[in-house]
Structure 1
Amino acid sequence: MFSINKPDPPTVGCYPGLGMNLRYHNYHHEGEIYPTAIHYNSVGAESDMLLVREAAMMIVMNQLTDKPDWHVKVFDELIAEKWIQEGLALPVDPLYDEIVQHRNPGWRGGPVYGPDRLKHILDRGCLEYCIKELRVKAKFFEKTGLIPALDANATVIKSDTFIDNTLHERLLRAFAKLKEEQKDNPDWHPRTNDMVQNLVHPSLYPLVYGRSRVFRDEVVGVEDAVDKWSGKGEVIPKKPADVPSGYDNRYHINYAVNGSDSHKHFWSDAYQWLPSNVKLMDDGSVKLTSYINNLHPKHSDIYETVEKLIERALPAWDHSVSFVRDWDIVSAGRTKARFPRPENPDDENEANWTPKIDEWTPDDAGEVEYEDVIRDEDGDLIYDTRKKAAWEEFREPVQPEAPEFKAWDYGVKPGESLRERFKDLQVIVKMASIELTPDMPAFPAGGWHVEGQMNEHIVGTALYYLDSENVKPSYLQFRMQTDYYQEDWNVGQDAFGWMERVYGTHLRGGDCLQRYGKIETKQGRLLAFPNVFHHRVSPVELDDVSRPGHRRFIALWLVDPRTRVINTGNVPPQQKSWWVESAFGGMDEESAKNVPNAVAKLVSGGEREHAGLKAAAESGNPLPEELVNMVQTEADEATMPMSLEEAKEHRLKLMNERTSYQRDAEQSWSGIQYSFCEH
């Protein structure tokens, strides 16, 4: 067994980027690692290569679990037989295209390529296996309210019942309240053509190295965050490009952490999203012990509602977010493929093909012209290598049959839940609404991505789709990386054509990426998945283009519980408007006369008009010139909390940085390719 080279554990008051190396990763505790898929080769973040057939079975099972009362009907033999027949009747091409990625190997606009299509995918044995597995999942759903929707080496959890009507209504009221607060000045996310409204977003007022004020101790709470702590703390130093000398763009780290090497852009030396601290209470509830970035603490009702949502997300994370302990994956869900590895996948194994060459004649080729290949000049058949060449053009792969069904033991093992292992967690919150109109009827599909950059240490996502009005069905697609090192397959030189067909990939130059399928993002649905999945949202489009529509959702991102990062307990609220309101909110024009005009001008800059401060700036008490100079020298804009204008400038820079990072990550994911040519 490999051993993990463990670093020294962090000291109190030290965090990655504050008193510690920005690229610190805590794998000290018993050799435990929460994997992410930001970079390739990360232990615990890779999928087996899945047969096209197995991926199709996952897709079919996910579709069946969208049927009303599926968990009851699956035990009815007549209904189960009907579902089997529906599965057998599924069109092959749409199913195949959902699984197999055809790529352009050279230039944009050029032809795409991929393995030859399968003429069929599912048979009765596959669908009978699906029914048996769904019966196991139905019992699990009855017990937990959760469905392992797409699961092989990792799991996507879904549930349409886990968030009750009371919490759903509270979330609707929270969104309505925040939208009303923004009615005169909505925060449209940049580069979305005013279609995505941010109600709470971590990219606004993030941690900014060289600008944000911090405390080493986590002293900032919720109720006291603005009045007691806003504007206080020491400015966090600007981070240098923390890359050892001798390395160009890549930073080599322990294989276990996140791959054999990582591009420097995978970390940010400038910004970090700020999580909130969440205490896990003994009564099963949760309590936010630091404020949610960009959600004013005055909204105590919304804070309580978010706490309830986090409380409900915990079991979903328990059943989807796995970790590695001494190189073994600890998971409540499936961790390996259903189908065993084929014993003899070599192309020379005639059992892998149909028809058998001895049973095949030129007449079987139908309209395909093989006469010039397999007949001599006298018209006699030539049963030699030329016949074999013709047969190889005609033959179809025999796909492995569904294995004997063995029920997976779903469920969290004793002592392994988040509540049992940790006293508190860190969670990042986002609340947003996609707003469509007849003039802007469609929001485009997103790109493949994982959440955050490496210094944010995000290991899990929970998404709750709160409200969908007049929009077509939309989906979230999932894929995982696979291991490019496939040396233990027993195939001869270039004899992997059968494998390419049944696995749906190119094994000489194909991407090491395995698609798992897609899940509909319907109203009332909770999704939870680990950050080992790349995911991509499909377009969101109006159903009736003559009237507006929307899709509203809340995202919760779980930070690695083993690696505590700088959080809102360390960083007081940076919003200048909050600080101004706290300090001068009750000041009328009469009392404003007592405020020195130099101070009023300084604190009101860059914010919306404040009547009291405006009056003070115009007619407040003047200061002696030397005091004015002192104020301007010691208390310039850089020492004040951040204006909205400045925060938006940082948001654009953060987005630009992440665009560059995402480009590097995509090149990393697609640049690693299978290479079977040396077998």
Structure 2
Amino acid sequence: MMRLMNDLTDVEGWMSKVFDDAFVENWKKRVRAKEDDVSEPMLDWLVEELRFKAQIARYTDAINIHNGDVVKSDSVVLRDLAKDTKQAVKPLEKMEEYALGYNLGSDEGERDYVHPSFFPLVYGRSRILRDRTIGIDDAIAAIGQGDIIPVPKDPATTLSSRVAQQADIYVKPYSSNIQWLPFDVRFREDGGCYIASYINNVHPTKNRDVYHVIERVLEKIIPMWNMTLTPLKDMLHSRSRIEYRRAEYEKREQGTGPEYPQKLVRETQHELDDRIYDWRGGFYKVIQPEPGRFAPIAMPVQLAEGLPPEERNKHRIEAQMDLRHDYGDRGLQVILRIHNARLSPAHPEMVTKWHVEGQMNEHICASSLYFFDNENVEDPLVEFRQASDVEPLQDVIYDKGDSLWLEQVFGLKNNEPAVQEIGGITCREGRAVTWPNILQHRVTVRLKDRSKPGHCKAVNLMLVDPNIRIISTSNVPPQRLDWKDESEGLQELLADLSVDEQVHRLKRDENFPWTVQEAMEFMKKAREEREAFNHYQDVAFRSRTVSI
């Protein structure tokens, strides 16, 4: 049902078409022809839910699709902004033309114009201003100022026994070496927002156009983050969409099939269970749970305000997240990455690993991707999976030894990790998607015409938990030696010089600021550390198993 809803909301003009009875009937007819397990009550539920979501989308320009509140938007503003983003990013792309091209990812062809592991906060090396903060305009003048940030005490290892028992897990959740540096975001009285401190690796004067487009992207992403984070604030969203109480089956085809398998001589119980599983899966399919009539769990305030009082009183008003209202005085902290998946006939596909964003140091609570330049690629696919609560499964009534319903209804298998792949979103140019950082995600990009090269460029904005303040670029002056001199063409010149020659060309104090080559060494260490953390996180994510 979630997949069908996602597919229909990819149709141009879906917000009005779902209220067109002729369109709805044709859509139902197509679904009936393709989907065996979709019943009339399911279709009726979907139509009512889509009409409800369409009313919300008129206010938000976005729609929440998958469980976990993945949100997508094809806002006209975002589509129109793609052209400006391409233009603003061009100077950053030039860096890739010479020695400053860099790549943190292990995926073939993935390149970063801006990556938070390049010139990050390095404990014991970076400097912090303890007595003041800096903005965009005075950032360059503050280079070299401040006190060295001490190395924190070694963080305790807080791994559960299910994770720690793996011999290859030695990582600590918090890093005592490196932290990504967010920039500060403030809200304007007119409802917009502005960037209040420099973006790491984006020059505050030479690349000012990047700041302007990122502000405009944020003005669309922040309301989407509100939608993504609302379920974490309003616990009613933790309820099951449709209850499943009893495992029941029906034959795939009419007639008689093989009899129920009986235990053979010298056959183990495990072998018998496997034969029963194959027998049931081959000749029977589970009867999917039927929904009742759709009713929203809670009513967004925007819709409730338009209802008559007697109708409004029938609904619970949703406790929505409002980042501007709740954190307007202190602002937000956001981490930026801009990357490019470059494909070629020799490497026509890129698939990232399943992962979450950042380490524990960054306290990232939500993330986003905005695809602003897709050239000769199929629409990139962003997929999500969640670690699921398996306790409610104990209440399901089923025959002893039967676990086929787990796979056919929930996408889970007995004695395997309690991880559900909840679906994916295809991202055409100009689309943005947000999700909570409790979900793992991966991105797949493929060439459309495999005889020619192509690319996919995206802005990745990550929201630091607004309840926690971490060290940001308002506290840490720029750390790049090549930013000390504003001369035109300086970066190209320095790229051809050794570290000693760069230091001679641009004076520095006590090995600070850093050269690009030095930053690359920090970046390599960050890559190793984060790969180890991602492995730990993935093991932890999959450590809970289904057991019925």
TM-score normalised to structure 2 length = 0.83
| Aligned mate of 2:354, from 445, 448, 451 | 448
Which residue of 179, 190, 201 corresponds with 1:272?
A: 179
Q: Distance in 2 between matches of 1:265 and 1:281?
A: 39
CA distance in 1, matches of 2:26, 2:188: 47
Q: Residues of 1 paired with 2:299 and 2:325: CA distance? A: 18
Q: Residue 651 of structure 1 aligns to which amino acid in structure 2?
A: M
Match of 2:28 in 1: 84
Distance 1:507 1:439 in 2: 37
Are residues 1:147 and 2:36 paired?
no
- Give the CA deviation at 1:427: 0.5
Q: CA RMSD in A?
A: 3.4
Q: Which moved more, 1:490-499 or 1:411-420?
A: 490-499
Q: In 2 relative to 1, CA 76–415 (structure 1 residues): closer, same or farther, beyond 3 Å? A: closer
CA distance in 1, matches of 2:407, 2:483: 60
Indicate yes or no: 2:348 matched with 1:430: no
Shift of 1:405: 1.6
Aligned counterparts, 1:287-366, within 5 A: 287-298=194-205, 299-322=207-230, 324=232, 329-330=233-234, 334-342=237-245, 345=246, 352-354=248-250, 364-366=255-257
Task: Tell me, in whole angstroms, the C-alpha distance in 2 between the residues paired with 1:212 and 1:545.
Answer: 45
Superposed CA deviations along residues 122-166 of structure 1, whole A, max 9, x for unmatched, are: 22321222112111111222222111222x3x2111111253455
Measure, in 2, the Cα distance between the counterparts of 1:163 and 1:572. Answer: 33
Does the residue aligned with 2:368 lie in a helix, a strand or coil? strand
Amino acid at match of 1:474: P
* SS, match of residue 500 in structure 1: helix
Equivalent position to 2:54, from 126, 138, 144 = 138
531, 535, 543: which is aligned to 1:659?
531
- Displacement of 1:167 in angstroms is 2.9
For 1:391 and 1:283, the matched residues in 2 are separated by: 64
1:468 pairs with 2:371:
no
**Counterpart code for 1:659:** E
Q: TM-score, normalised by structure 1?
A: 0.68
Is the 8 Å Cα contact of residues 338 and 403 (structure 1) preserved in structure 2?
no
Q: 1:74 aligns with which of 13, 18, 21?
A: 18
Q: Note the 1:248-259 alignment, pairs <5 A.
A: 249-250=157-158
State the partner residue of 1:238.
Answer: 151
Is the counterpart of residue 489 in structure 1 residue 395 in structure 2?
A: yes
Distance 1:547-1:264 versus aligned 2 partners, 3 A rule = closer
Instruction: Please point out which of 102, 124, 127 is paired with 1:210.
Output: 124
> Which string of whole-angstrom CA distances, capped at 9 and with x for unpartnered residues, describes residues 494-553 of structure 1?
455364254345564121112211100210101111112211112x22222333211111
Q: Secondary structure at 1:658's aligned position in 2?
A: helix
CA displacement at 1:465 relative to structure 2: 0.4
Deviation at 1:215, TM superposition (A): 2.2
d(CA) in 2 for partners of 1:466, 1:242: 39
> Could you tell me which residue of structure 1 aligns to residue 4 of structure 2?
60
Shift of 1:330: 2.2
Distance in 2 between residues matched to 1:389 and 1:289, nearest whole Å: 59
Q: Does 1:519 align with 2:425?
A: yes
Aligned to 2:522: 650
- 8 Å contact from structure 1 (residues 433, 551) kept in 2: yes
Shift of 1:195: 2.0
CA contact (8 A) 2:379 2:426 kept: yes
Distance of 1:371 and 1:541 partners within structure 2:
45
Q: Do 2:121 and 2:181's aligned partners in 1 also have CA atoms closer than 8 Å?
A: yes
Change (3 A) 1:510 1:389: closer
Per-residue CA deviations over 1:425-450 (Å, capped at 9, x if unaligned) read 001111122222334433x2111111
Query: What is the 5 A alignment of 1:13-32?
Result: none
Q: Which residue of 2 aligns with 1:25?
A: none
In structure 2, what is the equivalent of residue 641 of structure 1?
A: 513
In structure 2, how many angstroms separate the alpha carbons of the residues matched to 1:447 and 1:130? 32
CA distance in 1, matches of 2:224, 2:117: 25
Name stretches of at least 5 consecutive residues in structure 1 with no aligned partner. 1-56, 92-119, 244-248, 253-261, 375-387, 589-600, 618-630
For residues 391 and 524 of structure 1, do their structure 2 counterparts lie closer, same or farther at Cα, with a shift above 3 Å needed?
closer
CA–CA separation in structure 1 for the residues paired with 2:243 and 2:277? 30
- The runs of 5 or more residues in structure 2 that have no matched partner are 161-168, 264-275, 302-317
Contact 1:146 1:162 in 2 (8 A): no
Map of 2:456 onto structure 1: 551
**Alignment check: 8 A CA contact 1:334 1:410 kept:** no
Residue by residue over 1:280-320, the C-alpha shift from the partner in whole angstroms, topping out at 9 and shown as x without a partner, is 12121212121100001112222122112112211111111
> How far 1:234 moved relative to its partner?
1.1
How far residue 485 of structure 1 moved from its aligned partner, in angstroms, is 3.8
**Alpha carbons of structure 1 residues 143 and 492: separation in structure 2 relative to 1, 3 Å:** closer
Identity of aligned residues (%): 30
Sort the Cα spacing of 1:576 and 1:87 in 2 relative to 1 into closer, same or farther, 3 A. Answer: same
Residue 397 (structure 1) aligns with: 286
Residue 373 (structure 1) shift: 7.0
> Which digits, 9 at most, give the CA deviation of each residue in 1:343-368, with x for residues without a partner?
xx2x6xxxx2336xxxx9xx9324x3
Contact 2:343–2:454 (CA under 8 A) maintained in structure 1: yes
Which residue identity does 1:563 align to in structure 2? I
